[in-house]
Structure 1
């Protein structure tokens, strides 16, 4: 069965088309694709930068500090980002007005993703010895909290990146729990803990085929999983010039990989 999966998926490969550094960006911690020729990028100092696909800066927002996967773009084009210092979620409309959108109370919002399926916001949070994923609707109303599996065990420790698959599964990258995937109802589907014992996942995304891509920063790999959690192969390694992959984003045309030293690599999917 495993061999059959690999035969079906192995033709997926990538070819690098360009690589660039963005001025005054100190480490590319998270990438969000916006329209067909725009990216939002955040660094370790709380800078949010919008660029084109050549690295030209279009606009820049200085925030008081976020976590790794702390921004997303809605279906309407609004930028939403977390503020871990003030424990709020802010919204920036296209006319550049910044407002407080959601106040999670005692919870610290780490990661955020705007659903392409229904516009809901998925937020990874931490609290006192607890962590959870909260679903909000478009208006910011809390809809659901996901915290434990059906045996009462904690699902999350530090969900610092979050995304959604084409089937509605919520996929998180967690420092100590690995890749944790629950279905759209919050039921635990599977966890992926890498191919080696020291696996610590960072950036995570899904592609149009339903694959899950996750950065293995310390090993210089980007792992490729199918939507059921089966490891397929290492999509990117040092052979493709990847050094310290920290963030990853896929749209219908390209794959973007951000590295901690500030380099952004653009790849084409080949099928």
Structure 2
């Protein structure tokens, strides 16, 4: 097997480029022994991996120095950032997207046919959306794009700064306040995680604007890069955070095994309550990755298990969107506008779903299908919609006021003379 050492990854992780991967258990075991990786289930660390790099230009193999992780149904792995695993939605890949869960080091168990390497690296050639209404709409062209100089890779979370700049975070442990030209006005180095599940919340106080972020492996919430301000979350791993300025409360999404909940904290980090169970003890959430509050007090949650969950201001369950299972729906960034509409980035179809406060679908903003996994989302007061994708922040014109004129598209559910504003 031909391979060469790949520079640029974190210290202690030796990564090699390879032109093919082993796709049987015996071949996988042989590769593990060749690389001096752990073999078998007794040792949770140092298992052999052979997966695409973040740019998906070639395969890399390595012994991973972190614990095994469960791969969710409809997800695949890539080596992102400076050397941590990224779990990415693969429901629109050409072939090889698993419809079952498996441990991260057992990639060889995927049923990817006779040409696995071609299918893995040619991941998104089949990214056409099956929704006929969305397919009929023209692609919205962004007004401009912002290419961050230092915040590279998957731009997973976006927040508006009081300065008019944009806070952006990626999958490499970098958080930056980006100006319109892409330069950092301020940057924070956090800890990289395997799939960009550190997030941020902006808080204004007498000291100015601060960033709070979570680390799911070390299980704490931290302010800026200050060592003294850490809030542990016990056995629960924090994956998301949102600050409600109106309530002066932090909402932190946390997970443990197959359970999930959202814990509310006061500004002094005393625990207020949990949003957890409903009807016969069933958990409301499965993986609450993105959080936002709506104008009516609802908490809107982009759950990585292919759904959006909304609870009211009394922490009571309201609705799930979509109402029925929707294969291929991959919700990431979520935001709300001044009229209370909820906007959700659907990474699988490169579109933004817009629903009202009752959960009724309103319309789409269709983006180019060539975008690489759009994730982050924020909206400013002037009607600009910012979307974080791989290496770029795209700025679209958005308004919820149907009397304004922007790009228009016809939906199949309306007559041919009807228009919607997007």
Q: Following TM superposition, where does structure 1 have runs of at least 4 consecutive aligned residues deviating by more than 6 angstroms?
A: none
Within the candidate set 64, 78, 83, 2:210 is matched to 78
User: Which residue of the other structure, out of 313, 338, 362, is the alignment partner of 1:208?
Assistant: 338
Deviation at residue 17 of structure 1 after TM alignment:
2.6
- Corresponding residue of 1:23: 149
CA separation in 1, counterparts of 2:227 and 2:203?
14
Which residue of structure 2 aligns with residue 6 of structure 1?
none
User: What is the Cα deviation at residue 38 of structure 1?
Assistant: 1.6
The structure showing larger relative contact order (alpha-carbon pairs under 8 Å, at least 6 residues apart) is: 1
Q: TM-score, normalised by structure 2?
A: 0.56
Q: Secondary structure at the match of 2:348?
A: helix
- Residue 113 of structure 1 and its aligned partner are, at CA, apart by 0.5
Gaps of 5+ in 1: 1-13
Q: Which residue of 1 aligns with 2:298?
A: 169
Q: Say if 1:101 and 1:140, in contact at 8 Å, map to a contact too.
A: no
2:220 alignment partner, one of 88, 95, 113: 88
Report the TM-score, using the length of structure 1 for normalisation: 0.86
Question: How big is the shift at 1:16?
Answer: 3.3
Q: For residues 328 and 242 of structure 2, what CA distance do their matches in structure 1 show?
A: 27
- How is 1:1-271 mapped onto 2 (pairs within 5 angstroms)? 16-24=142-150, 25-66=152-193, 67-68=196-197, 70-76=199-205, 77-92=209-224, 97-176=226-305, 178-193=307-322, 196-238=326-368, 243-253=372-382, 254-259=384-389, 261-270=390-399, 271=401
Look at both structures and tell me which one has the larger radius of gyration over its CA atoms: 2
CA distance in 2, matches of 1:176, 1:122: 19
SS at match of 1:16: coil
Count of matched residue positions in the alignment of Structure 1 and Structure 2 = 253
Distance 2:175 2:228 in 1: 15
CA 1:194–1:31 in 2, change beyond 3 Å: closer, same or farther? farther
Deviations 1:81-104 (A, max 9, x none): 001121100012xxx645434211
Alignment partners' CA distance in 2, 1:150 and 1:53: 47
Report the 3-state secondary structure (helix = DSSP H, G, I; strand = E; otherwise coil) of the residue aligned with 1:136: strand
> Cα distance 1:119–1:50, how it changes in 2: closer, same or farther (>3 A)?
same
Asked if the contact 2:147–2:181 (Cα under 8 Å) also holds between the matched residues in 1, the reply is no
